[in-house]
Amino acid sequence: MHLHILGICGTFMGSLALLARELGHTVSGSDAGVYPPMSTQLEEAGIALCEGYSPTNLEPRPDLVVIGNALSRGNPEVEAVLDARLPYVSGPQWLAEHVLPGRRVIAVAGTHGKTTTASLVAWLLESAGVAPGFLIGGVPRNFGVSARLGAADAPFVVEADEYDTAFFDKRSKFVHYRPEIAVLGNLEFDHADIFEDLAAIERQFHHLVRTVPGKGLLLVADDEPALERVLAMGAWTPVVRFGEAAESPWRFELERDDASRFRVIHQEGQGKESVNEDAVVDWPLTGRYNARNALAALAAAHACGVDPARGAAALARFESPRRRQELRGEVANIQVIDDFAHHPTAIAATLQGLRAATARGRLLAVVEPRSNTMRLGTLRERLAESVAAADVAFWYRPEGLDWPLEPIIAASPVPAHLEQDLDALVAALVAEARPYDRIVVMSNGGFGGIHEKLLVALEVAHG
């Protein structure tokens, strides 16, 4: 079968393309913005990419068109699909119908940390010899690809996004997946372009909870009021909490302030029926939020038969996914780090984790408020404080941002600069950077290839 995918370079749709290719289908696709790491993955898999959207991309006529949620009515290729009465489907529905049937699905949901946690679950299962399938909204470096089928009888790990499914299906993507194990890591307001308020997102999360069978498992982070409200709507599945609360069956205690070493404590039952297990994780990641992600993954893997000690040992070999605290290069002892953080909470958590792990030199934060929520300015009152853990902040005004960044600069708790020209931003960073500084670039887009430009410019100035 020939599948043509609209929006193929999105993290979800690109991963879907890899699975379809692995199933033996002929796959092609279109997208308006093509950039690594997804474009590289697709080209290496032999998938034909069309730059831009046009009716001519539908020639020869595909058997099925899979339409990404970034596409809407008025798009020339969408209109051509409808006019030609081509069969079409959403990505989540195609996944649910062609990949997930018969699989033990582990769905990882939450406002933040989905990609890292899903990667952790897949790695823990892989390390235990289980050969899981997975679809992850990023590229786990332990695997080198964002999706694979895995063994037919092995669990399938899916990053469960709450964003809407398609222009013709406004439910959240994750309602299609029907997981046996659902990880609910956190929940706060985001995606202001499609959700009116936090309560609307909570309702979608409850739709996910409704689909988990009574013999399944809900792994829910403690100290998350929004998740407690979701559960209060009704839960028909055993709930196991994880985090730092003393009463949570899964909890962690830091042994290093930067969370690169922590103890995992697992306690179940009472009296003679109680089970007590603990293990120590010593790994390359930092940040309290990453310790929590790892705890969730250990609990999910444990439900599939992986004991905590074996899992903890495997985490020492875990490599963070691409664009999650990814070191892109180092020149004259100046590091350039790429991170996907694009929400005030994620920006703050990323910088706090790196701050705790920075023993020498300064932390320079570079932020592009590019996401749909950021473009709408919904959370802008929280942006200034989000960079408090940095020494210096550089803000970049992306095209299409129609609210002023100047008040963010004025309210910044650290020295802050504003640029709207990429070359000027690179020049300012090179002029500011000193040996042992760490430059952390945070955006959910390609950011004009700033990482490579910055490394080249640093080499010229300091190399």
116 annotated ligand-binding residue: yes
CB 387 within 8 A of CB 358: no
26 annotated ligand-binding residue: no
CA distance 26 to 24: 7
176 annotated ligand-binding residue: no
378 annotated ligand-binding residue: no
Q: Is 9 exposed, middle or buried (0-12, 13-18, 19+ CB in 10 A)?
A: buried
| Helix (H), strand (E) at residue 67 | strand 64-67
111 annotated ligand-binding residue: yes
| Helix (H), strand (E) at residue 106 | strand 105-109
Pick from 190, 196, 201: which is nearest to 227 by CA? 201
114 annotated ligand-binding residue: yes
Q: Is 99 exposed, middle or buried (0-12, 13-18, 19+ CB in 10 A)?
A: buried
Q: Which amino acid is at 33?
A: G
Q: Is 387 exposed, middle or buried (0-12, 13-18, 19+ CB in 10 A)?
A: buried
**Omega before 60 cis (within 30°)?**
yes
Sign of CA dihedral 84, 87, 93, 99: negative
CB 260 within 8 A of CB 286: yes
40 annotated ligand-binding residue: no
Residue at token pair 């939450």: 110
* Whole-number Cα distances in Å, 234 to 47, 217, 238: 44, 14, 12
Q: Which amino acid is at 53?
A: Y
Binding residue ranges for ATP: 110-116
Please state the residue numbers annotated as binding site: 110-116
